[in-house]
Amino acid sequence: MNMNKSLNIFLMCGVMLALAMLASCGADRNLKKGEKYLAVGEYFDAANEFKQAYQKTPPKQRDKRGHAASRMALCYSKSLQTAKGIAAYRNVIRYKQDHPQDHLVLAQLLMKNGSYKEASTEFQAVLDSMPDNALARVGLSSAKEAPTVKELGSRYTVKKMDIFNSRRAEYSPMLFGDEFDQLYFTSSRNEAQGDELSGITGTKPADIFFSEKDDKGKWSKPEPVNGGLNTDYDEGACCFSPDGSEMYLTQCATDPSYPRYAQIVKSSRSDAAWGKASEVKLSNDTLSSFAHPAISPDGEWLYFVSDMPGGKGGLDIWRVRLTASGLGGVENLGEPINTPGDEMFPTFRPNGDLYFSSNGHKGLGGLDIYIARVGKDHRYHLYHPGYPLNSAGDDFGMTFEGPHNQGFFSSNRGDGRGWDHIYSFYNPEIVQTVKGWVYEMEGYELPAAEVYVVGDDGTNEKLSVRSDGSFTKVLDKGVSYLFLATCKGYLNHKEEIRALSDPKESRDTTLQFALANISAPTLIDNIFYDFDKATLRDSSKTALDQLVKLLNENPNVTIELSAHTDYKGSEAYNKRLSQRRAESVVNYLIQHGIAADRLTPVGYGKSKPKTIKKKVTEKYPFLKEGDVLTEDFIKALKNEKEEEICNQLNRRTEFMVLRTTYGLFDEQGKLKKQPKKQPSVNKKDLQDDNYDIIFD
């Protein structure tokens, strides 16, 4: 009996030993698979393998169990699973497999969890062994100050936008369109393209989605972007060129045996659809990632994020100049923006402020949003916008609704899975803005125009002109500004404005820049004469003064000033009347300082009936582009009202540019030495000065 019992115990021990050996072998296999996944950045799949290895390893094998916990903790921290990461790192410490770096990451996760007191303890533990660790030093200050910063709050209001969000991740919103009525963002929701789940996140690879706002302000249900933009790969963090014709975004190609290096790609818009994207080759470096593109408001620079050599540590923000001939050299933004931590998701407010997110500066935990402004010393100065725009979680990806401090951003605050969602924000600032339009006189908008602005505070910049010929500029209090609109083939136009020193409410000013075509007659609208006479009416003064201003702004231009009549009356009479009317306008211009030899009055009578431009047909649908308002054409209408409209159109005053070299040459035909002018709008200076930012 005793012998049988002993035999049974022996057999049971043998079975248990065998099971333990099998479990150990299984754990080793899980560890090896986990390392393979980790090597290519598939953190979600790697974490699952390390978790199984941990569970299969007996508690008595403390070193081995601690190692599995360490690898599992690393993957949880990389895949933004904060609570699981904290638990895993505590196991690492419990099994005495911890190193200072483990305590640093644990402290950072505790910050993201809002556990500031515990985070302080862990940061201090890091500093006890590594007193020069910059991230631990900043982290300790953050942990101590965060409760006060949170309590102070700010003027920001934040709201979760359920219309855009799903049960998966949504991030990096970007407003689009002249009216900011389209929102593009990244999402890994079930409607994303592709069938495979990402080994990085455990969800579908992310795609670009968009939503539109109707006339009542209601946003539509998000849909994937049509065309060839989205693929089975990850697409995300998009931005747009100032004219809206190009989209820059991040794309991560998939290779089972290769790390997921991100790259920046570009897509062009055609027929309201975004086409297949192509790589933007920023460097010959094939071992670094390039992501999170942002275009400066003037369209001259592409900002991006990279871990390439030469940075400050972790991920840094860089920039490269965009030129007609290609890309310039890359520049690291340096201090104070970049740190030994990660700086990510740059974006711009239309006023030129750079917004980005970082875990290397003092903050509330995770990625915080920071504002970088260029001061008069040509250096960046950083501002923390406080709570609730920032939180203990990751906050990033700002986009602005025009010049006002409102729009959308993304955050994973309060999401235990670490998934990001889209929030709205609003800060009730008092903002003074100029909304301008550049268009052809008697014609359509001029998106090819260039607008420059100088201010008595040292402002000197080029503004972006949108597809509808509009531009926006935020004004600083009490500053006087000069705006210059120019376009090839057109005369220049200037406008001046002074911002209020102490505005009580937001103020929008509208400026019109009607440019005169150099190669075609330009109608001078609202010129009125007494009936059957050449006497100018007082109501013509505004239009005539505008013409004086135009000629003063373009001092090297000579013009032909022409007057026209309708077909009624004899040819000789109409010619004499129109000549006298043209001379009346010229006399007015001379009286107001315009040199007589710059002006040629011509009366054409009824010999040059008006040819209809497309713009006129929008007001008078009975006319077609190219119609010539001859006597026969008008009489054929058989409608008195329409006939009178045509006669009114024929009774017009126009000017035509004859020369653009007036005053430039002497009697021998040699170029005169031009007098030195006071500093004003100079394109070269603008291009040089505007980008003279000192990077440390």
pLDDT digits (tens, 9 = 90+) for 168-187: 999 999 999 888 999 999 99
Pairs from 5-9 (Cβ < 8 Å, separation ≥ 24): none
pLDDT at position 17 is 43
Exposure letters 562-587 (e unless 16+ CB within 10 A, then b):
bbbbbbeeeeeebbebbbbbbbbbbe
Which residue, among 221, 286, 299, 222, has the nearest Cα to 258 in the 3D structure? 286
The percent of residues in the chain predicted with pLDDT above 70, rounded, is 92
Distances (CA, A) of 146 to 116, 138, 555: 7, 12, 61
**DSSP secondary structure code for residue 404 in this structure:** S
Return mean pLDDT, the chain.
Answer: 88
Task: Give 13-27 pLDDT, tens digit per residue.
Answer: 444 444 444 456 678
Q: Which two tokens stand for residue 86?
A: 């904290």
pLDDT tens digits, one per residue of 199-250: 677 778 899 999 999 999 999 999 999 888 999 888 999 999 988 899 999 9
Token digits for 675? 């007098």
Contact assessment for residue 399 and residue 174, using Cβ atoms and an 8 Å cutoff: yes
Q: For a pLDDT cut of 90, what percent of the chain falls above it?
A: 65
Does residue 287 carry a pLDDT above 90?
no
DSSP string over 5-45: HHHHHHHHHHHHHHHHHHHHHHHHHHHHHHHHHHHTT-HHH
Stretch (H or E) spanning 115: none
Three-state SS letters, 417-449: CCCCEEEEEECCCCCEEEEEEEEECCCCECCCC
Can you read off the two tokens belonging to residue 281? 């080759």
Say yes or no to pLDDT of 684 above 70.
no
Short-list 313, 291, 314, 323, CA closest to 304:
291
CA proximity to 651, closest of 572, 564, 580: 564
Phi–psi pair at 478, nearest 5 degrees: 75, 5
In this predicted structure, the answer to whether residue 3 has a pLDDT above a threshold of 50 is: no
**CA distances (Å), 2 to each of 5, 8, 655, in order?**
5, 10, 123
DSSP H stretches of helix in 40-99: 43-56, 62-78, 82-94
The answer to whether residues 195 and 446 touch, using CB atoms and an 8 Å cutoff, is no
- Burial class (CB within 10 angstroms; exposed 0-12, middle 13-18, buried 19+) of 619: exposed
pLDDT tens string 87-116: 999 999 999 999 999 999 999 999 999 999
Give CA–CA dist 280/518, Å, rounded: 38
Report the predicted TM-score, pTM, of the whole model to 2 decimal places. Answer: 0.75
